[in-house]
Structure 1
């Protein structure tokens, strides 16, 4: 179902048509909570109510209204800067949950500008205390194997983190690095290997996609981690994101990051959201009360997701349709495996360009004439 269109008044006083999606992704393309929290809060409910997004392939602008938005899915490696703005979202009545990517690549310096591991773990705990474990998904993403980053080594690091996150989340999601699809990833990893020649050579780092044997070994370790915690009262679900192989024999299921079932479970009291996701109206409070008359057995209506998966994502992706409002070449974490940044130089250039327009319609301030 295409997003509904509404009329909006832009910052310069022009009336334009905007799409009005029910679900916003913020964002697969950049880290909005870490670098653009005030921008997002201001654009969302600070009197603006819309953003402008540029298609990365043809640079055409698209106006995105928040008028119909019911759920925001945040993706971040550092949500701490956004936390002070969350009460504004709560007051606006919008639902949200987080994908918190918490990796441990400190020794390798693969994520040079993220806070320390201990700081990120502490932020994770703080966010969990505010939202509860169902609204925070732990991502270890991407998984990258080299001669020193073996399946056993990475699984050991994940287990060490899990010991500090017990009870703070219900789900761990991982995915393997996809180097062959993204030329910019190959190029950035090659630059990285030149700086760390003693540890990596250009062949090993640029061919770091996992073998079938490594995948099986790693999945086996994750299965043991899940079993370990289950015995100790923590039912940590482990999922693989957009991968072609079947790991169900290890108890690892495909992930749905924009997850309609999770939304129904956590935000199902919102009848408009339920109707959108299931195409069937939620049962009214009167009907629910009526089931309790004369001690009748209470039967909850089973809510079945009928909304289709997002056709804009790859075949293996299980996400339902959302509108992502992020832009490439705007994240300053500097992760060497990143598919969203062409180079650190291009990102810094864009960041400098927007300093004079911190609350502009778009994260990205184009240097090209708009169509």
Structure 2
């Protein structure tokens, strides 16, 4: 079983105490976002989990908690973007994020760390020259702390349309993104970092940009030392990531990024955060008498050793 923490909300930034409590207890409940009365009960003890993938824009709250995960294979994907508070109003000081990135790399090793410089969008303020300068500064700060960088073009989600004015972005900028990606690949290579695309129907291998998935068999082998078989998630077009169990919930991330796909109803965020209890088995709220519990454990067929 692969556990993702999380593609739905930033658990590391806002719910790290709950996260630690769940792993210490060895059990976590996940409410089905499409069938709210269904709750998936997951055994998250080390023997049931192949790897834990943390996805975050602020890993700092995890620095003093990593001993809890010493018996797990762990990987981090940390997003560092160059946008200002009009785009990412809830983000922490990015200098601290970079410092925390470096500290985690020292503890876990660079192969366990992936930099996400995404999503990329182009506007009058955030043009190609801006991105090249910002990306080079980021590479300078993280040289030696990772070798893999994920980039992607901003998609036109519901939240993106809602905040079109703040973004000042036009969704027809894919050709400009393609040219920019090649420039970023050249910058990354100077700092020992190789770029890869995330869910893009593009072939930029001639520029040294790999066609890989965010969570793929190659990275999983780096984290675990094993060859593990998992089905693909196929969550959206051109996504070839391995299937994960996500511990998060939608509409409860206080970063308030204007391009976010997971906060599609921002009016819910404050009220949902108020229902969070670090001692609950659920991220938001508590189990109800009419909830239907479904138990999930690791499938032994996923493991194949060579």
State the TM-score, normalizing by the size of structure 2. 0.87
Shift in Å, 1:360: 0.7
Shift in Å, 1:111: 1.1
Instruction: Report which stretch shifted further, 53-62 or 312-321.
Output: 312-321
Shift in Å, 1:96: 0.5
Q: Which residue of 1 aligns with 2:301?
A: none
Contact 2:52 2:74 in 1 (8 A): yes
Q: Which residue of 2 aligns with 1:304?
A: none
Report whether the alignment pairs 1:225 with 2:190.
no
Q: Residue by residue, what CA displacement relative to the aligned partner does 1:43-101 show, whole Å, maximum 9, x if unpaired? A: 112xx3211111212212211221411210000001111121111110xx111010000
Distance 1:367 1:342 in 2: 24
SS at match of 2:130: helix
Distance 2:159 2:220 in 1: 34
Distance 1:86 1:146 in 2: 38
Q: Which residue of 2 aligns with 1:215?
A: 177
Residue of 244, 268, 278 corresponding to 1:358? 278
Residue of 217, 228, 241 corresponding to 2:198? 241
SS at match of 2:160: helix
Shift in Å, 1:216: 2.7
Q: Which residue of 2 aligns with 1:347?
A: 269
State the TM-score, normalizing by the size of structure 1. 0.73
Q: Taking structure 1 as reference, are residues 367 and 360 closer, same or farther at Cα in structure 2, changes over 3 Å only?
A: closer
Shift in Å, 1:308: 4.4
Contact 1:309 1:318 in 2 (8 A): no
Q: Residue by residue, what CA displacement relative to the aligned partner does 1:277-318 show, whole Å, maximum 9, x if unpaired? A: 1xxxxxxxxxxxxxxxxxxxxxxxxxxxxx244234224222
Report whether the alignment pairs 1:184 with 2:184.
no
Distance 1:24 1:247 in 2: 30
Q: Residue by residue, what CA displacement relative to the aligned partner does 1:100-144 show, whole Å, maximum 9, x if unpaired? A: 0011112x5311111112121111122222212111100011101
Distance 1:216 1:315 in 2: 18
Unaligned 5+ runs, structure 2: 293-306
Contact 1:23 1:321 in 2 (8 A): yes
Q: How does 1:34-53 map to 2 (within 5 A)?
A: 34-45=13-24, 48-53=25-30
Contact 1:172 1:239 in 2 (8 A): yes
Q: Which residue of 1 aligns with 2:68?
A: 88
Q: Taking structure 1 as reference, are residues 162 and 334 closer, same or farther at Cα in structure 2, changes over 3 Å only?
A: same
Report whether the alignment pairs 1:142 with 2:104.
no
Number of residue-to-residue matches in the alignment: 288
Q: Which has the larger radius of gyration?
A: 1
SS at match of 2:118: strand
Q: Taking structure 1 as reference, are residues 105 and 367 closer, same or farther at Cα in structure 2, changes over 3 Å only?
A: farther
Distance 1:102 1:352 in 2: 27
When the two chains are superposed, the root-mean-square deviation of aligned CA atoms in Å is: 2.1
Distance 1:328 1:85 in 2: 24
Distance 1:79 1:53 in 2: 22
Unaligned 5+ runs, structure 1: 1-21, 269-273, 278-306
Larger relative contact order (C-alpha < 8 A, sep ≥ 6)? 2
Residue of 264, 267, 270 corresponding to 2:224? 267
